């Protein structure tokens, strides 16, 4: 029996997933969470085999943040991301946080069930399109932004100043500037606006 938690801030999505998963004889839904903080607490309480994790929630914390905390637990539950978002930044953040699988919400039910069973067994469970994106990144690593560079650029896109970015990420302003220099070089741009525009065109940012 694979014991699961569902983390998503949309009640209708949680209800649909619970109905689908409860119909499978080898799956048991232990609880549902509507926030990253809640799912981490439930993971500590229930020690599930796997957490089905959305990436974007209403608050500032993300599914990647929760994934990192959950994967640090002992024993560490597996995490399978189920989201609408497929930008390089989202994929990279989830994989680097320790997610063993990444599916989009338009995946067929049988694909989701197969991915849950694979992830629970410790195997990688990536949607073909996601696997392709990661392979492209591996083939051109010099062109790829790091997870932290993407994080900095995402805050730039939200209009944050260097000092605000430094405070948000708990790094120095000099480090923020260093990250931006690397971003500008990799994207072959010379301004913050151009960097954000290029990142959106490349699918790095939404």
Output 199-204 pairs: Cβ under 8 A, ≥24 positions apart.
199/145, 199/150, 199/153, 199/157, 200/157, 202/88, 203/86, 203/87, 203/88, 204/87, 204/88, 204/89, 204/145, 204/150, 204/153
Domains and CATH numbers, the chain: 2-138 (3.40.50.2300), 145-201 (1.10.10.10)
The stretch 114-136 carries a mean pLDDT of 80
Q: What would the pLDDT profile of 28-71 be if each residue is shown by its tens digit?
A: 999 999 999 999 999 999 999 999 999 989 878 889 999 999 99
pLDDT class of 141 with cuts at 50, 70, 90: very low
What pLDDT is stored for residue 124 in this prediction? 82
Residue 190's pLDDT is 86
Lowest mean pLDDT among 105-114, 135-144, 172-181, 192-201: 135-144
Give the pLDDT of residue 132. Answer: 66
Please state, in angstroms and rounded to a whole number, the distance separating the CA atoms of residues 153 and 87: 13
**pLDDT recorded at residue 142:** 46
* Residues 180, 162: Cα–Cα separation, whole Å: 10
pLDDT at 204: 82
């Amino acid at each position: 029996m694979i014991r699961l938690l569902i983390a998503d801030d949309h009640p209708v999505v949680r209800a649909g997933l619970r109905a689908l998963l409860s119909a499978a004889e080898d799956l048991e839904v232990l609880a549902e969470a509507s926030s990253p903080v809640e799912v981490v607490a439930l993971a500590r309480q229930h020690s599930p085999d796997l957490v089905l994790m959305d990436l974007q929630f209403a608050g500032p914390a993300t599914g990647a943040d929760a994934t990192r905390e959950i994967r640090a637990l002992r024993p560490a539950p597996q995490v399978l991301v189920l989201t609408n978002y497929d930008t390089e930044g989202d994929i990279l953040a989830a994989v680097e946080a320790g997610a063993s699988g990444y599916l989009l919400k338009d995946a067929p039910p049988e694909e989701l069930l197969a991915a849950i069973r694979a992830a629970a067994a410790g195997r990688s469970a990536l949607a073909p399109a996601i696997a392709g994106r990661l392979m492209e990144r591996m083939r051109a690593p010099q062109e790829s932004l790091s997870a932290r560079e993407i994080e900095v650029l995402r805050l730039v896109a939200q209009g944050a100043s260097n000092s605000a970015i430094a405070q948000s990420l708990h790094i120095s302003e000099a480090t923020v500037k260093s990250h931006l220099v690397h971003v500008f070089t990799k994207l072959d741009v010379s301004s913050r606006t151009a960097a954000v525009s290029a990142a959106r065109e490349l699918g790095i940012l939404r």
